Structure 1
Amino acid sequence: MEQTKSGGCQCGRIRYSAEVDPAEAYLCHCRMCQRATGGVAACFVSVRRDGVAWEREPDWYASSPIASRPFCSNCGTPLGFRYVEGSDRMDLTVGSFDDPSDFVPQSHFGAESLHEAWLDTSTLPRQRSDEQETLVAKWEAAGVEPPQ
């Protein structure tokens, strides 16, 4: 079911609202997405292009002859993916939403470049950011609360 969700880049220069169906979330493992995000996969949700309202137009990078990617040139946040032509849909990065908690990936794409070791990390040790004393001290020295 579609709902309106907002999001944007890390520095706040680029903001958007979008009509999204959380069931349209997926992971893309293709090498282009790995390089574009710096991760082992891109976490996307597919949306209608006309369902996205940008408060300020993002910068666009022509990542290939067939696609471009919105991003913020101020802070570098990757915001999505769209084909140059032939589709009324685009993808937005799940992490750029203000509240990404509703999204659960439904599929994998670009499986030829999938790194299995990064899929199920449930047995790895976990530490909260606010439990890392050095990090907390750095935020406090900067005069701000650590991000949640």
Structure 2
Amino acid sequence: MGEQMTGGCACGRVRYTATVNDDEAYLCHCRMCQRSTGSLSIAFKNVKKADVAWEHEPDWYDSSPIAERSYCRECGTSFGFRFKEGSENMDLTVASFDDPLRFKPKHHFGAESMHRAWLNTEGLPEMRTADYQKLVDKWVEATGSFPG
């Protein structure tokens, strides 16, 4: 029996509940995903289409002759990918879940477009958001506090 997990976009217009049966996720590096997200890869969780309930239906982009991608037209959040025909499954973006930390990558897809220099960044200097004073100051000036 799966667990009900929620997710949504940055502005809150689109929300969903999905039944998740395990912690497995994957990274897609294909050029279609790179272009549609503006990132070198995207983390996906594969779920059954029937196990996703949208509180507000996302917008859908007809991204190729075989697939479409969901997103929020207001804030630009990417929700995932589904084939137009022939599959009962779809992918949801791991980062759109309210609690994405449970998921673990189990494989890479689209390896022909993988940017390997970005895969293992162990040892690079790390900076916490709250330690970047200019950013903290901008948040405090705009809202009165730092979100964190």
| Structure 2 letter corresponding to 1:62 | D
The alignment yields a C-alpha RMSD, in angstroms, of: 1.1
Q: 1:72 to 1:130 in 2, by over 3 A?
A: same
- Per-residue Cα deviation, 1:7-56 (whole angstroms, up to 9, x for no partner): 00100000001011343300000000011111100110000000000000
| Structure 1 letter corresponding to 2:11 | C
Is 1:23 aligned to residue 23 of structure 2? yes
Matches within 5 A, 1:59-78: 59-78=59-78
Q: 1:37 to 1:53 in 2, by over 3 A?
A: same
**Could you list the runs of 4 or more consecutive aligned residues of structure 1 that deviate by over 6 angstroms after TM superposition?**
none
In 1, Cα distance between the equivalents of 2:145 and 2:39?
Answer: 27
Q: Does the residue aligned with 2:147 lie in a helix, a strand or coil? A: coil
Q: Does the residue aligned with 1:136 lie in a helix, a strand or coil? A: helix
TM-score (norm 1): 0.96
Whether the aligned pair in 2 keeps the contact of 1:48 and 1:88 (CA below 8 Å) is yes
How many residue pairs were aligned?
A: 148
Q: Which segment is superposed worse, 120-129 or 136-145?
A: 136-145
Q: 1:72 to 1:144 in 2, by over 3 A?
A: farther
- Residue 73 of structure 1 deviates from its aligned partner by 0.3
| Structure 2 letter corresponding to 1:7 | G
Q: 1:22 to 1:122 in 2, by over 3 A?
A: farther
Residue 131 of structure 1: aligned partner? 131
In 1, Cα distance between the equivalents of 2:24 and 2:121?
Answer: 23
Q: Does the residue aligned with 1:63 lie in a helix, a strand or coil? A: coil
Q: Does the residue aligned with 1:43 lie in a helix, a strand or coil? A: strand
Identity of aligned residues (%): 57
Residue 6 of structure 1: aligned partner? 6
TM-score (norm 2): 0.96
Residue 50 of structure 1: aligned partner? 50
